[in-house]
Structure 1
Amino acid sequence: MSEAKSGAAISGPRVLRDEDVLRLADMPAAIAAVEQLFARLARQAFVAPPRQFVPFDRSTDLVFSTGGMSDGVAGTRAYVARNGKHHDDQLVVVWDMPTGRMKGVVLGSALGVLRMGAIGGAAIRARTRPDAGEVAVIGAGRQAAAHLEAAARVRPLRRATVFARSAERTAAFCAEMGRKLQLAVSPATSAEAALDGAEIVIVATSSLRPVIAAGWLRPDAYVHSVGYKSTVAREMDLDVAEAAATIVTDSPAQVTAFGSKFILHGTSHGERVEPLWSAPMRPGITLCYPMGVTGSDVVVADELLRRAELLRPAK
């Protein structure tokens, strides 16, 4: 596999790397792939067990996530996690299950960012009003960018307000995303100011401590927590869960598997977590804890492999 050129199949399955993912990425298509996955989960027609962590020492795990469907694609993602942080050297393998043929391999970290953004877009479309137009983004990294793009693809955004720790990075993020999305994207002076009036709140940080408070949210806000959500590291505290009328996730199985590590463990709110695709729409705040449902990377990788095949130069 090391001899394969980027984006090309010399012999055997096609191999894509980060540069190929960035070239081929189509957020609406990725969101559609995730929405189809959610529809299958609702029909119990998609296999999505929790991740498997194989410990090598107290701080290092080799992690495997497997998911898919018997009448379509299935596959596995593998990566090393050290002290809870994922390494960028990741592997996703996609098989065509009816034939058993390996369709391709995606290497690197760009796929993970794309599929988490796609999960966010699917969740926002499922859980917010069709006319929601005000979005707040806390964070200015790759996940923040992917989630803002996803929100713009599923809702008629009028304005985005961004806050991150670095004013310089925030300004650059706003300029770049404003050009990319043809949207008014402006920096805020604080997280509280960013959340003022926002119908959609995307929290995508690497913070180990809460960066927002429930009192800053409008009464009907949708809140999407991308970053840490454990009992020892969390980008938002339990006050948001307490204020939420509805708490949803893309992977109830992963929430259960996290056990005592999950932020809501040991609280009455843990029993309130529902699948985002089937929870009733209720008045009030909706809080989503996206866990990265297994198999989502596989279906998004399959879409990238399909696009690579379509764009392959004719011989």
Structure 2
Amino acid sequence: MSVALKVFDARAVREALTVTDAIAVVRKAMIALSSGQVEQALRSFIPLGEEQTFALMPAALGGGEPFGAKLISVFADADHPGRKRHQGLVVLFDAETGAPVCVADAEEITRIRTAAASAAATDALARPEAARFAMLGLGAQARAHIEAIAQVRNIQTIRVWGRDYAAAQAFAREMDAAHGLTVQACRTAADAVKEADIVCTVTGASDPVLQGDWLAPGTHVNLVGSSGPAKAEADTTLVVRSRFIADHAGHVRAHGGEYLRALEAGVIDDTHIAAEIGAVFAGDAPGRTGPDEITVYKSLGHAVQDLAAAAWLYANAKEKENGH
């Protein structure tokens, strides 16, 4: 029996998948990934030109859950110089019949699930009393991260930094109005992270914009923006100083720019990855081990997160159709 293909455009994804829902979805997905329930291949890239890449990210959720892939293009954003867009599709197949059952906008899923994954990691790794938040980078991911992090900690102040100070000021005003929080633009990244409890980097930087010496003891950092081996948002000092938690160890060893630069410099060895975040979520590995420890969550993003989000959208839509 054929099954009608469900299609979720960006608006449909945005209206159906809340950050709160996504935090629970990606937490479960990362536990499944770290426990070996998921089949997932390393992402593959095809370079298409200057600042233009096509990527394929396949996975099977296991346990009778769907399988599929994210097909994504990473191109310069013509409307926002210096930024990139991740446009594409998440395609879902039924595990029983092999039929394609769902297609969803990948850019919107990526925006939501990336911030949700950072929020889940922050909830597990940041100090319970963390209230001062620093955001390095502007744009869609910065907006999503501010919304998501505020759901897991009682954020009192936010400092933001971008290469264009005027743009950072405009962004700060926008976030202040949207969330009712005290949001301040900073002229330097060092000023933004000074005395911060939580730091998120969501830039397109090829070389570090964050230095480990700037951070106070006890800070938690989400490294999110760099997703390839040739790029790094933070320096080797931060990697060395931190309890370094990977979203997935194999992927970080292949594509984690910050980790690879520190390894090449000889300042860490291959045991420096303390744990995977899924193992921390499951209670199989410790997260933060002391109040003064600097923790780092290295986020590369994974097909399992995208597929789990699409599967949630698909199941939620079917439940509504059935009157539940």
TM-score (norm 2): 0.82
Aligned with 2:303: secondary structure? coil
Q: Structure 2: give runs of 5+ residues left out of the alignment.
A: 77-82, 280-284
Question: Is 1:282 aligned to residue 289 of structure 2?
Answer: yes
Distance 1:138 1:253, change over 3 A: same
User: Quick one: which of 51, 68, 72 aligns to 2:65?
Assistant: 72
Q: Which residue of 1 aligns with 2:79?
A: none
Residues in 1 aligned to 2:256 and 2:136: alpha-carbon distance in whole angstroms: 27
Contact 1:127/1:276, CA 8 A, preserved across alignment: no
Task: Give runs of aligned pairs for residues 183-222 of structure 1, distance below 5 A.
Answer: 183-222=181-220
Instruction: Give the Å deviation of 1:220.
Output: 0.9
Residues in 1 aligned to 2:270 and 2:75: alpha-carbon distance in whole angstroms: 27
Instruction: Give the Å deviation of 1:137.
Output: 0.6
Distance 1:269 1:120, change over 3 A: farther
Contact 1:50/1:294, CA 8 A, preserved across alignment: no
Residues in 1 aligned to 2:127 and 2:49: alpha-carbon distance in whole angstroms: 46
Which piece of structure 1 moves more, 51-60 or 288-297? 51-60
Residues in 2 aligned to 1:101 and 1:206: alpha-carbon distance in whole angstroms: 37
Residues in 2 aligned to 1:81 and 1:53: alpha-carbon distance in whole angstroms: 10
Structure 1 residues 247-285: Cα deviation after superposition (integer angstroms, max 9, x where no partner) = 011121212333899444424244311312334232311
Q: Which residue of 2 aligns with 1:33?
A: 25
User: Quick one: which of 231, 234, 237 aligns to 2:235?
Assistant: 237
Which piece of structure 1 moves more, 86-95 or 123-132? 86-95
Residues in 1 aligned to 2:194 and 2:52: alpha-carbon distance in whole angstroms: 40
Q: Give the partner amino acid of 1:238.
A: T
Aligned with 2:233: secondary structure? coil
Distance 1:223 1:52, change over 3 A: same
Task: Give runs of aligned pairs for residues 47-62 of structure 1, distance below 5 A.
Answer: 47-54=39-46, 62=54
Distance 1:287 1:270, change over 3 A: farther
Residues in 2 aligned to 1:34 and 1:200: alpha-carbon distance in whole angstroms: 20
Distance 1:133 1:64, change over 3 A: same
Q: Give the partner amino acid of 1:191.
A: A
Question: Is 1:21 aligned to residue 37 of structure 2?
Answer: no
Instruction: Give the Å deviation of 1:124.
Output: 0.8
Residues in 1 aligned to 2:172 and 2:161: alpha-carbon distance in whole angstroms: 10
Contact 1:231/1:264, CA 8 A, preserved across alignment: no
Q: Which residue of 1 aligns with 2:119?
A: 121
Residues in 2 aligned to 1:201 and 1:108: alpha-carbon distance in whole angstroms: 26
Instruction: Give the Å deviation of 1:106.
Output: 1.0
User: Quick one: which of 293, 313, 316 aligns to 1:304?
Assistant: 313
Distance 1:88 1:291, change over 3 A: closer
Residues in 2 aligned to 1:87 and 1:141: alpha-carbon distance in whole angstroms: 10
Contact 1:249/1:275, CA 8 A, preserved across alignment: yes
Contact 1:79/1:87, CA 8 A, preserved across alignment: no
Distance 1:292 1:230, change over 3 A: closer
Aligned with 1:36: secondary structure? helix
Aligned with 1:277: secondary structure? helix
Which piece of structure 1 moves more, 179-188 or 30-39? 179-188
Distance 1:180 1:46, change over 3 A: farther
Q: Which residue of 2 aligns with 1:254?
A: 251
Distance 1:260 1:135, change over 3 A: closer
Q: Give the partner amino acid of 1:75.
A: G
Residues in 2 aligned to 1:203 and 1:125: alpha-carbon distance in whole angstroms: 17
Aligned with 1:117: secondary structure? helix
Instruction: Give the Å deviation of 1:207.
Output: 1.8
TM-score (norm 1): 0.84
Contact 1:55/1:61, CA 8 A, preserved across alignment: yes
Q: Which residue of 2 aligns with 1:271?
A: 271
CA RMSD of aligned residues (A): 2.9
Aligned with 2:271: secondary structure? helix
Q: Give the partner amino acid of 2:36.
A: Q
